[in-house]
Amino acid sequence: MDLALTDEQQAFRDAARAFLEKEAVPHRTEWDRRESVDLDIVPKMAELGFFGLTIPEEYGGLGGDYLTYVLGMEELGRADSALRGIVSVSNGLVGKSILGFGTEEQKQEWLPRIADASILGCFGLTEPGTGSDAGNLTSKAVRDGDDWLITGQKLFITNGTWAKVALVFARTSDDGPRGVSAFLVPTDSPGFEAREIKGKLGLRGQATAELFLDQVRVPSTALLGAEGQGFKIAMTTLDKGRVSVAAGCVGLVQACLESSVAYATSRTQFGREIAGFQLVQELIADISLDADAARLLVWRCADLIERGEPIGVAASKAKLFASEAAVRAANNCIQVHGGAGYVDDYPAEKFLRDARVMTLYEGTTQVQKLLIGRAETGVNAFV
C-alpha cells in the first residue's frame, strides 16, 4: 500500500483545511454555545465538494476515491466535529445508500440535490427502544394499495430538523431483521414531524432530532432496495459510516495535538515553557501516537473499499480505536491546558465533549468489540 497522497488528494486536503480555517474554526465556539452551526456554511461546503465526494459525476458529484473522502472527514473533524456529522450523514449514510441500492430514478431524483447540498438527508434507524439492537425496530410500514403507510418513532437523528429527505427503516413483516425495509420519505409529508433535541453534551452545533411518523403515506417507488432488504442496507451503509466517524476522530485527535503543542510552547511556568517539562511531553507524545495509529487504521479501510474488499471488521477496528483515541487525546489536551482547558476560551473542553459521543453512535465500543471477537473466534456472543 502506497501511503503517499496523490497531487489531487493533497490539493483537496489543503483546500479543505484553508476553507475550514477561515469559515469554521473562528466560529465553532459560538456555534457550540448557541447549539447550531450557521447553515450558510452548508452551500459553501458543497461548492468545495464535501457533499459530492464519491458520488459519481453523472449524479452531480465529484466522483473521486474513498481516501479523498476520508481526508475530507479528517479535516472536518479537525475543524468542528458537528460539521463532519452533517456531511457524513447526508452524503455518506443517505447518499451512499441511494447510490448502492437505489433505482436509476431514485438516484436521479435525490443524488444531485444531496451532492450540491440543496437538500440534506437524515438516517432514520435508531428508535427509543432499539439502538444497538436495530434488527428489532418497531416502526411499521403497511401496504395501502400501491402505497405504504409508515408509523413509528426515531431518536437521535442527525440532521433531523434540517433534512428534506429521511431514509426511514420500518418493519414490513415480523421476520426479525429480514422483516425490515427502507424507505425514502420526504420530510414535508403529512404526518411527519421532527423535534430537535437540545441540551446535548457535545456535537451541539448539529441538529439532532426525534422523528414522529403517523401514517405517513409514500408511494411504492419510495422503497429503497427490495422489501425486507432494509437491515442489510443499514448494516452495509454503517460499515462505511464507521469509517467516516473514525476519520473524523482522526481529525479531532490531530486538533488536540496541534492545540496542545501551541499552548505548551506559549505557556510559561517556573520560568520556562511548559513544553520543556517531561510529563507534558508525555501527554503530547501519547496524542501524537494515537493520531498516527488511528489514521493508519482508517486509511487501510479506504484502501480496502477502493479494492472492493470486505471492510466490516477493519471498519470496526478503526472506529473502536479512533473513537477511544479521540477521548484520550481530548482528555490529555485538557491536562496540557490545565485550568484553561476547562473553559471554552480554548477548544480543549469542546474536543472532549464532542469526542465522547464517538464511542456511542454508529455502534458502541462494546458492539465493535463483539464484532471483532466474533470475527476472530467464529462464536457469536450477541445471543
Q: With the C-alpha atoms ordered 361, 365, 366, 367, is the resulting torsion angle positive or negative?
A: positive
Per-residue pLDDT tens for 298-333? Answer: 999 999 999 999 999 999 999 999 999 999 999 999
Helix (H, G, I), strand (E, B) or coil at 14: helix
> What does pLDDT average to over the chain?
96
**Residue 182 φ/ψ, nearest 5 degrees:** -120, 140
| 328 class by beta-carbon count within 10 Å (0-12 exposed, 13-18 middle, 19+ buried) | middle
Q: Which residue has the cell 464511542?
A: 359
Per annotation, catalytic residue among 30, 282, 362, 376:
362
Least confident of 33-37, 133-137, 268-272, 285-289: 133-137
The partner residues of 28 in beta bridges, in order of sequence, read none
Residue 67 CA to residue 244 CA, distance in Å, equals 11
* pLDDT over threshold 70, residue 125: yes
Indicate whether 3 pLDDT > 90.
no
In the predicted structure, residue 382 carries a pLDDT above the cut 80 = no
362 is catalytic: yes
Q: What is the pLDDT of residue 1?
A: 64
Query: What is the DSSP pairing of strand 180-186 with strand 147-158?
Result: unpaired
pLDDT at 383 over 90: no
**Amino acid identity at 222:** A
d(CA 35, CA 26): 15
How does 8-40 read in b/e, with b if 16+ C-beta sit within 10 Å? ebeebbeebbebbeebbeebbbebbeebbbeee
Q: What is the mean pLDDT of residues 146-169?
A: 98
Determine whether 98 is exposed, middle or buried from the number of CB atoms within 10 Å of its CB (0-12, 13-18, 19+).
buried
| pTM for the whole structure | 0.96
